[in-house]
Amino acid sequence: MEWLNYHHLLYFWVVAKQGSIIAAGRELRLAHPTISGQIHRLEEVLGQKLLMRKGRNLVLTDEGRVAFRYAEEIFGLGKEFLDTVKGHPTGRSVRLVVGISDAIAKSVVQRILEPVFDLGDDIEIVCRNDHSVEAFMGDLAQGEVDVVFSDAPAGPGSPVRAFSHLLGECGTTFFAVAPLAARLRRSFPQSLDGAPFLLSGIDSTLRRALNEWFDENDIRPKVVAESDDAALTNILGEAGRGVFAAPDVIEKEVRQRYHVQVVGRSEKVRQSVYAISLERKIKHPAVAAICEIARKSVFA
């Protein structure tokens, strides 16, 4: 049976946190060659390069990030063990790392995450954004991300075996600044033909749903801008650049936050939010709370 030398792992962990062997040497009170030699020994045992030099600093390789994550957990548990034995409060929190597609409205994300904050003070939420859900799949497989929020289920061609849990779906509301909204509201949706429009990114499910709806109603809006970031689209709409679409479940919030008015609504343009995880049956308490509350209240 192979055994891990935790002294070697400790030296690596401190170097990774400090960013250099010099800084780690000061903290550990050890000579630089000693630390360097122990880390090289760990790399030999693992058969992987954990650190590489970038300028004057040391940075983690992909394998190094995996090792660092495990080291954080191992030494965190060690400290918790000592605190528990000595009767001290552990102060250990449940960490939830969430990957979020930029295509999802931030107000919807806030509503979805709200029940996590109500679980208690021992919850730490880490949010990471990217316009591509595929960018999170590797992190999900390695355990660096607990759940991914997406406007579409995981694709069949994904290299990661993941499960997509539908949190809910809703219709779409169209917004614009007051003068433009008043002009377009009367003959909606035909009034959108030739109207300035702010579209979501071409790969988003909202964009595809809008394109189908435009075709069905023989509408050809004047595309002023398109963005993968829903928040940027809303800001451009607030500046009067054109009409934009958002989930109808946050209609009131959008009107108040961006000082815009409703042009019209469509139940045919559907928007969905999925929680993508590696588990068919979600066990993480925070993710389970998210799914339950989202289905019962956010998209009720």
130 with 267, same domain? no
199 with 230, same domain? yes
CATH of residue 236: 3.40.190.10
140 with 164, same domain? yes
Q: Is residue 27 part of a domain?
A: yes
Residues 6+ apart with CB under 8 A from 186: none
d(CA 117, CA 144): 21
Q: Is residue 1 part of a domain?
A: no
193 with 154, same domain? no
179 with 255, same domain? yes
- In the structure encoding, which two tokens stand for residue 105, read together? 């409205």
pTM listed for this prediction: 0.66
Ordered per-residue pLDDT tens for the chain, 300 residues? 567 888 899 999 998 888 888 888 888 888 988 988 999 999 998 999 999 887 777 888 888 888 888 888 888 888 777 766 666 555 556 678 889 988 888 889 888 888 777 776 677 888 888 877 777 887 887 778 888 999 988 877 677 788 889 988 999 999 999 999 999 999 999 999 999 999 998 888 999 999 999 999 999 999 999 998 888 999 999 999 999 999 999 999 999 999 999 999 999 999 999 999 887 777 777 788 888 878 887 787
Q: Is residue 252 part of a domain?
A: yes
Q: Is residue 254 part of a domain?
A: yes
d(CA 278, CA 219): 41
d(CA 121, CA 89): 14
| Host domain of residue 289 | 94-168+273-298
Contact assessment for residue 98 and residue 167, using Cβ atoms and an 8 Å cutoff: no
15 with 149, same domain? no
Query: Tell me, what DSSP letter sits at residue 297?
Result: I
13 with 146, same domain? no
Q: How many domains does the chain have?
A: 3
- In the structure encoding, which two tokens stand for residue 156, read together? 């069949």
116 with 260, same domain? no
